[in-house]
A and B are shown apart, each in its own frame.
Chain A
């Protein structure tokens, strides 16, 4: 069957059909991205924290802008080549377009990767306002030596077995309790067994028994007898922890729970029928809520259905022998105290939580939130900042490099204020309350000496990452530069994350919009690639047919460019 109006225009619309289709699609795309840009606007206008301005490295974004504009030109040239029946030129222009798409995605990958590895920590500790400052940087690596967390200084050993990022929580586990109503333990059990290896025994503390349903309904046995029966045994005490064993107990528990629920429901239904017979439908809710007659009836019910219930234990405990030091990601542990931690699947690990500081190289200090909260509460921002843990702690060498870096920043700020005053301007909040990575490098290069920083600032001799500085292509480069070292005790960690959507709404919207845009680039490249590699047949059949197709694909590609034209200044420069 021949599809009509794919080469020539329809008389009523004046357009070939696929063009009508692509414009309808593009209209829906405008609405979609319009909604996302509105989301960005909403999050930025209503942010209750200082919005990260110019937080992304500009050069990758700038190159990507050039790449997309260039590809917009080549795709339209490819279309023109088809119009002029120049197949070879079409191939060349389309191939360049696809290379541009690939380069765009590679650069996006580099940018994303940098964010996935960049750690941020919200500090807890003394201070008159809620925000205590933020530290950003790269997490170092550590291992367990003599039962203690020890930093691994040699970068070549970072990928060795037993070496892990130094932001993990360590617990010396002697007992694990799994909650059977949450059958989502598999990932944790796998991790625990992997860490335990063959040197540790993790065994069921006592028999897991559930009364047999048939024996229960036969009657004649009390609960103790039912539990003592061989049919009640699900798992022996001493059984080794495994996913299969846990699943077996979970299945028994869930079956028993379902059985008990049915019995309770039957009794409740019978009681409803009874009270309806007694009181009629009028005012039934009042009886059920307020009157003692209903409460008495339910008490009687409980006495009757109690013995009919299987009442399977909802938790099972395993002993760990000898106690095993578990190294867990902070995201896996929503709650912890000195004696126990709770995983996200409600599994409780008892033992001793070991000192688990976050060890990192610090490339940025940010007190803007502290300043914002201080100003809102009528407190002098610098007073709130000075008492922060970041500036008052003492590290294991008896010093505080972050305090020294901050002092350098104050020296730079003094120079900056004097300079701007001459122009009738004042430093921005970014200037005042944030030390960026290149400033940190500049201060380190001057041995964290404030006087030297002030002097160098006056001579315009401070290190500054320029737009085309490849060392800072994707942001702070920890392989190239030295940054101050810090160990943040776990009790001073308020919230920590890499620079991903979890960290704040800026990164949430950044990844949402750029991720969706990236998918559009991939989708567009697939369509254009199809024309390049499989378009010859269409071209031989009717060159105008392929030209129309490329025009339609090109329109989509221009739209992708259009979105990026707004994304680049909004996300990278504002």
Chain B
């Protein structure tokens, strides 16, 4: 972390640059969502747009963490704390994603729309 006055002065320039970079990528995100020639994948919002949007957001978040929150040169203890928090957050999200591959299905796929309906138990065996 910046300690001496010279280092702090130098860091200020970096902070300003990162701020501008964050502004720029925010505009890129909005353009990807609203400008037609930047609409990748199918027409309208789809998984490709979601991937691009989240990738840009992750990049922006990384800049904030590394530069503004000084995680580019921190003590190991901080990485441990923050890493555990992130691990827990990703674990929660992984659980949700994992539940998508749950083999148990609700409803009879031949006679219902597949949404949960306790009155229509599935007649097919699950794999």
Q: Is this pair of chains taken from one and the same complex?
A: yes
Spell out A's residues near B (CB within 8 Å): 13-15, 19-20, 23-24, 26-31, 33-35, 37-38, 41-42, 45, 48, 53-54, 58, 62, 65-66, 69-70, 72-73, 76-77, 80, 83-84, 373, 376-377, 420, 425-431, 467, 554-555, 558-559, 561-562, 565-566, 568-570, 573-574
Cα of A26 to Cα of B70 in the assembled complex, Å: 14
A27 touching B81, Cβ below 8 Å: yes
CB of B119, distance to nearest CB on chain A (Å): 14
11 residue pairs from A and B, CB less than 8 Å apart: A70-B19, A73-B15, A80-B12, A376-B114, A425-B43, A562-B64, A568-B26, A568-B29, A569-B57, A570-B54, A573-B53
Cα A114 to Cα B44 in complex, Å, equals 25
Report whether B30 and A467 are in contact in the complex, using a CB–CB cutoff of 8 Å: yes
B53-104 CB contacts (< 8 Å) to partner A? 53-54, 56-57, 60-61, 64-65, 68-69, 75, 77-78, 81-82, 84-86, 88-90, 92-93, 95-97, 99-100
B44/A430 in contact, CB under 8 A: yes
The answer to whether A30 and B34 touch across the interface, beta carbons within 8 angstroms, is no
Contact between A565 and B89 (Cβ–Cβ < 8 Å)?
no
Within the complex, the shortest CB–CB distance from A431 to chain B, in Å, comes to 7
Residue pair A555, B69 in contact (C-beta under 8 Å): yes
With A27-B84, A77-B15 as given contacts, are A428 and B113 in contact (CB-CB < 8 Å)?
no
B106 to chain A, nearest CB (A): 11
Shortest Cβ distance from A114 into chain B, in angstroms? 19
Q: Which of A53, A84, A561 meets B45, CB within 8 Å?
A: A53
Interface residues of B in 17-59 (CB under 8 A from A): 18-19, 22-23, 26, 29-30, 33-34, 42-46, 49-50, 53-54, 56-57
In the docked arrangement, what's the CA distance between A38 and B100, Å? 13
| 6 closest cross-chain pairs (CB), A and B | A34-B89, A428-B44, A376-B113, A27-B85, A30-B85, A38-B92
Contact A420 B88 (CB under 8 A): no
Q: Point out the residues of chain B lying under 8 angstroms from A24, CB to CB.
A: 81
- Report yes or no: B64 in contact with A565, Cβ–Cβ below 8 A: yes
CB-nearest residue of chain A to B12: A80
Docked CA distance A6–B82 (Å): 21
Among the listed A45, A77, A376, A377, which residue makes an inter-chain contact with B96, where contact means beta carbons less than 8 Å apart? A45
Query: Which of the residues B2, B44, B61 comes within 8 Å of A562, measured between beta carbons?
Result: B61
Given contacts A31-B85, A425-B43, A565-B64, contact A573 B29 (CB under 8 A): yes
Contacts of B93 in A (CB 8 A): 34, 37-38, 41
Chain B residues lying within 8 Å of A31, measured Cβ to Cβ, are: 85, 88-89, 92
CB of B8 within 8 A of CB of A84, answer yes
User: Do B97 and A41 touch across chains, with their CB atoms under 8 A apart?
Assistant: yes
Contact assessment for B45 and A566 in the assembled complex, using a CB-CB cutoff below 8 Å: no
Residues of A near B95 (CB, < 8 A) are 38
Give the docked Cα–Cα distance between A35 and B61 (Å). Answer: 18
Residue of A nearest to B17 (CB): A73
- Report the minimal beta-carbon distance from A401 to chain B, rounded to whole angstroms: 27
Interchain CA distance A5-B38 in the complex, whole Å = 52
Q: Which residue of B2, B56, B68, B92 contacts A569 across the interface (Cβ within 8 Å)? A: B56
Q: Is the CB of A15 within 8 A of B77?
A: yes
**Separation of A428 and B43 alpha carbons in the complex (Å):** 6
**Contact residues in A for B65 (Cβ distance below 8 Å):** 558, 562
| Distance between B46 CB and nearest chain A CB, rounded to angstroms | 8
A54 contacts which chain B residues (CB < 8 A)?
33, 45
Please indicate which of the listed interface residues A27, A70, A80, A377 has the most CB atoms of chain B within 10 Å of its own CB: A27
Instruction: Assess whether A83 is in contact with B8, with CB atoms less than 8 Å apart.
Output: yes
Beyond A66-B23, A77-B12, A569-B33: 5 further Cβ-contacts under 8 Å? A29-B85, A30-B86, A426-B42, A430-B44, A558-B64
Partner of B30, one of A373, A426, A431, A573: A573
Is B43 within 8 A of A373, CB to CB? no
Report the minimal beta-carbon distance from B44 to chain A, rounded to whole angstroms: 3
- Nearest CB on A from B48, distance (A): 12
Q: Which of B61, B92, B97 contacts A565 (CB 8 A)?
A: B61
Most chain B beta carbons < 10 A, residue from A15, A26, A73, A559: A73
Residue contact B82 to A58, C-beta cutoff 8 Å? no
> Which residues of B lie under 8 Å from residue A62 when comparing CB positions?
26, 30
Known: A27-B82, A562-B65. A569 touches B88 (CB 8 A): no
Greatest chain A CB density within 10 A among B60, B69, B112 is at: B69
Contact pick for A38, options B29, B49, B64, B96, CB 8 Å: B96
Using known A-B contacts A426-B43, A562-B64, A569-B54, determine if residue A33 contacts B89 with beta carbons closer than 8 Å: yes
Least CB distance from A130 to B in Å reads 9
Measured CA separation A28–B85 after assembly (Å): 6
Q: Is the CB of B75 within 8 A of A15?
A: yes
Contacts of A14 in B (CB 8 A): 75, 77
Which residues on the B side are within 8 Å of A83 (C-beta)?
2, 5, 8
How far is it, in angstroms, between the C-alpha of A427 and the C-alpha of B5 when the chains are bound? 58
A467: chain B residues at CB < 8 Å are 30, 34
| Residue on A nearest B115 in the bound complex, by CB | A48
List A contacts of B126 (CB < 8 A). Answer: none
CA distance A80 to B15 in the complex (A): 10
Q: Which residues of B contact A566 (CB under 8 A)?
A: 54, 57, 61
Q: Is the CB of A45 within 8 A of B64?
A: no
CB distance from A449 to the nearest CB of B (A): 26
